[in-house]
Chains A and B, each alone.
Chain A
Amino acid sequence: MAVSTSIRPSRAAALFGLIYRPEVRRAVYQVVLLAALAFVAVWVVNNVAENLRRQNIASGFDFLGRTSGFDVSQSLIEYSNVSTYGRAFWVGLLNTLLVAALGIVAATVIGFVVGIARLSSNWLIARLATAYVEIVRNLPLLLQLFFWYFAVLKGLPSPRQSYALPGGAYFNVRGLYLPAPVPQPGFEAVAIAFAVGLLLAVALWWWARRRQALTGQRFPVLWTSLLAVVGLPLAAFLVAGNPIGLEYPELKGFNFQGGIAVLPELMALLLGLSIYTASFIAEIVRAGILGVPKGQTEAAQALGLSKGLTLRLVVIPQAARIIIPPLTSQYLNLTKNSSLAVAIGYPDFVSVFTGTVLNQTGQAVEVILITMGVFLTLSLVTSLFMNWFNRRMALVER
């Protein structure tokens, strides 16, 4: 490079020329950003320390061990107002997981039905499904929750005028009262039969897979394993002589006692969440089915596969590849949206912990940090699952 050596830039120009070098500029930008972030962080931490000292708020996580002093209307674990804040945390978290699990099942069922109905060859059914989707997903979820809670469930009759449902269940403004199953002596047999059936199904599935890999012959795994999982416990149930008793709810005083009580808050939340999320799932399912090219079905038919096998071996696996990633993010949305429970008084995690515990202790920083930590963990677990799934399902190409 004779040319560059003959023109020797002055030292100032060389220094100045540095700013035109991308790596120098990048380093400078990053240092500036880092300094700005560090400055803001230090400033915020100082402010927080100052404000906390002035307002006399304790810091640290000791409050989790202190007595909470408040009641929670629904709890899956032992809890009373002498339990600790830490216990209240678990009560709220379990309530959130309960509503999320039930909501996910319901939303999936409704969503798949509506999504398939949108593709129906029956004009009226397709239009009805479209109307459902267009109405429901264009209304705020909070409005729908309020609608179910304040306008529908709060309008139900008082316990004395309850609707009596078939099978000894009652429905009134305080909630839904269902008979509770109580295991009688001999019930262990049913449980054992169920476990055996489950093991059998797994073994069957494994064996059938191996056999197909070795010989190419298929075995009707679905029906046989269903028979093992459902049939065995049923047989045990009949042999043991109906070992499940029912505890019926009874009207005592102003309310029902006994049985399983489903709070109206839980019902409203479930209705709202599952109907709302189902409208999004329906669109995902529809897109997934439409996303499998018609040629795939035709190729399967050309190979002589039956309609059922075409669906099971060709269409569904490919549609699943399209459907499952957005479906998982809808599940995550549903879980996050369950935090709207706070608006209708269902004791979910946000309502119990971020609401009541924060108000009582005043330890905003710790409580919000734990809250965010919980939701971030949920997201992280979901996205880890998604990455694993995507790797498993990814097309293996040459």
Chain B
Amino acid sequence: MDAAATRAAPVPRAGGGPILWLRDNLFSSWANAVLTVLALWLIYQVAATVLGWAVLHATWTGDDGADCTRHDAGACWPFVGAWFGQFMYGRYPDAERWRVNLTYALALAGLVPLMVPRVPGKLWTSIYMLGIFPVLAVVLLSGGILGLRHVPTDFWGGLLVTLVISSTGIAAAFPLGILLALGRQSPMPIVRWASITFIEFVRGVPLITVLFMSSVMLPLFLPEQWSIDKLVRALVMVALFSAAYLAEVVRGGLQAIPRGQFEAADALGLSYPQKMGLVVLPQALKIVIPGIVNTFIGLFKDTSLVLIIGIFDLLGMVQAGMSAQRWLSPSTPMTGYVFAGLVFWLFCFGISRYSQMLERRLAAGGERVVAKAAYD
């Protein structure tokens, strides 16, 4: 062999450094270099457009749509400022808005200790969140007793309604979904078929038709003198809808639990509720946390559909605000949607990140248990 061919290649620089990183990750080949340049161009275009629209050409002060029409194409931020109250509370009376804020504070007081893994006392916080908080929230938001003015649900709106529907929806859907999932696995044919029919029926139709059903068919189903609040009807339908989806998620978890677990519980003489509640469900639900969170995020996004049956959630309020005569301008719709989008996005993204954190933690916990068992 000749000497030139066997001469060693130069030693690569140790540690990397930015230039090497750039070469490896952005310019590893001609095609990659072209893609990188294209991507940089795209990022520049998007950033310039967004910055120009939201900051440079935006209107920051003004009293009506005419002020926003003067500058072209920029965001109309005073519109968001003027409607901010409605976006958050709907037509909830100004003097009573502290009640909504207090409800939020009470919810956070329970949620934060529940969500931060390090805080002890999960059992008591859960009892507070599931038993005490809902009562407090209904009393505070609806009023009519304890000297609080009654605020009918017609006046609720904006983010308040979005949060009320999604949180109540998931809280009601959760137990129902578990029952349906258990029903679907039941050895009793009638129970099984009833569960399967419900689940497949609901999952087969779009939420809109279910909401339509709540507004046109539910009144027909009930006796004349029963008039159910529009918001409550929507809540019931959203909860039933989510329950069917949750049931399928939970079923996935149930199917992943080894038969031995069921048999071991039977061998210990546990009753069916004990077997499910103490042995099977704790394991099954842990596996399907990502699925449950995805269902919740879907539910949170889907709450915006209630505007079609005339309930003004955050998106509905934005829609109402931008069609109001006073703020008509070419840039008002875009501004409203960007604002609503930011709020929705922060919630959904936050929830999904939290669930990823939880998933990693639980997975790590599982590994430790396994490792310890192997060691023993």
With beta carbons under 8 angstroms apart, the residue of A124, A138, A365 that contacts B36 is A124
Residue of A nearest to B212 (CB): A354
Mark out the residues of chain A between 349 and 377 whose CB falls within 8 Å of any chain B CB in the assembled complex.
Answer: 350, 354, 358, 364-365, 368, 371-372, 375-376
> Residues 295-319 of chain B: 1 if any A CB is under 8 Å from the residue's CB, otherwise 0?
0010001101101100000010001
Of the listed residues B203, B205, B301, the one surrounded by the most CB atoms of chain A closer than 10 A to its CB is B205
Q: Which residues of B contact A147 (CB under 8 A)?
A: 334, 337, 341
Q: Which residues of B contact A150 (CB under 8 A)?
A: 322, 333, 337
- A342 & B208 in contact (Cβ 8 Å cutoff): yes
**B66 CB–A CB distance under 8 Å:** no
**B115 CB–A CB distance under 8 Å:** no
**A396 CB–B CB distance under 8 Å:** no
Interface size range of chain B in the complex: 35 or more
- A33 & B208 in contact (Cβ 8 Å cutoff): no
Q: A30-B189, A143-B341, A147-B337 are in contact. Are A340 and B217 (CB under 8 A)?
A: no
**B209 CB–A CB distance under 8 Å:** yes
- B345 & A138 in contact (Cβ 8 Å cutoff): yes
Q: Which of B57-65, B102-110, B221-229, B364-372 contacts A (4 or more CB under 8 A)?
A: B221-229
Residue of A nearest to B215 (CB): A364
How far is it, in angstroms, between the C-alpha of A90 and the C-alpha of B177 when the chains are bound? 36
How far is it, in angstroms, between the C-alpha of A251 and the C-alpha of B237 when the chains are bound? 48
How far is it, in angstroms, between the C-alpha of A380 and the C-alpha of B204 when the chains are bound? 8
With beta carbons under 8 angstroms apart, the residue of B42, B190, B220 that contacts A364 is B220
**A141 CB–B CB distance under 8 Å:** yes
- Distance between B308 CB and nearest chain A CB, rounded to angstroms: 6
**B274 CB–A CB distance under 8 Å:** no
Q: How many A-B residue pairs have CB under 8 A?
A: 150
> Residues 327-346 of chain A: 1 if any B CB is under 8 Å from the residue's CB, otherwise 0?
00000000011011011000
Q: Which of A50-58, A291-299, A313-321, A386-394 contacts B (4 or more CB under 8 A)?
A: A50-58
Interface size range of chain A in the complex: 35 or more
How far is it, in angstroms, between the C-alpha of A52 and the C-alpha of B219 when the chains are bound? 11
- A368 & B341 in contact (Cβ 8 Å cutoff): no
Q: A26-B188, A122-B25 are in contact. Are A33 and B206 (CB under 8 A)?
A: no
Mark out the residues of chain B between 222 and 265 whose CB falls within 8 Å of any chain A CB in the assembled complex.
Answer: 222-224
**B101 CB–A CB distance under 8 Å:** no
Q: A143-B337, A354-B212, A365-B220 are in contact. Are A376 and B204 (CB under 8 A)?
A: yes
Residue of A nearest to B40 (CB): A124
- Distance between B220 CB and nearest chain A CB, rounded to angstroms: 5
- A123 & B308 in contact (Cβ 8 Å cutoff): no
- A138 & B348 in contact (Cβ 8 Å cutoff): yes
Q: Which residues of A contact B201 (CB under 8 A)?
A: 372, 376
Residue of B nearest to A134 (CB): B349
- Distance between A391 CB and nearest chain B CB, rounded to angstroms: 19
Residue of A nearest to B352 (CB): A138
**B130 CB–A CB distance under 8 Å:** no
Q: A51-B219, A51-B224, A147-B341 are in contact. Are A139 and B348 (CB under 8 A)?
A: yes
With beta carbons under 8 angstroms apart, the residue of B42, B209, B352 that contacts A371 is B209
Q: Which 9 A/B pairs are nearest by Cβ-Cβ distance?
A: A379-B204, A138-B348, A123-B25, A336-B206, A140-B301, A151-B334, A30-B190, A151-B333, A364-B216
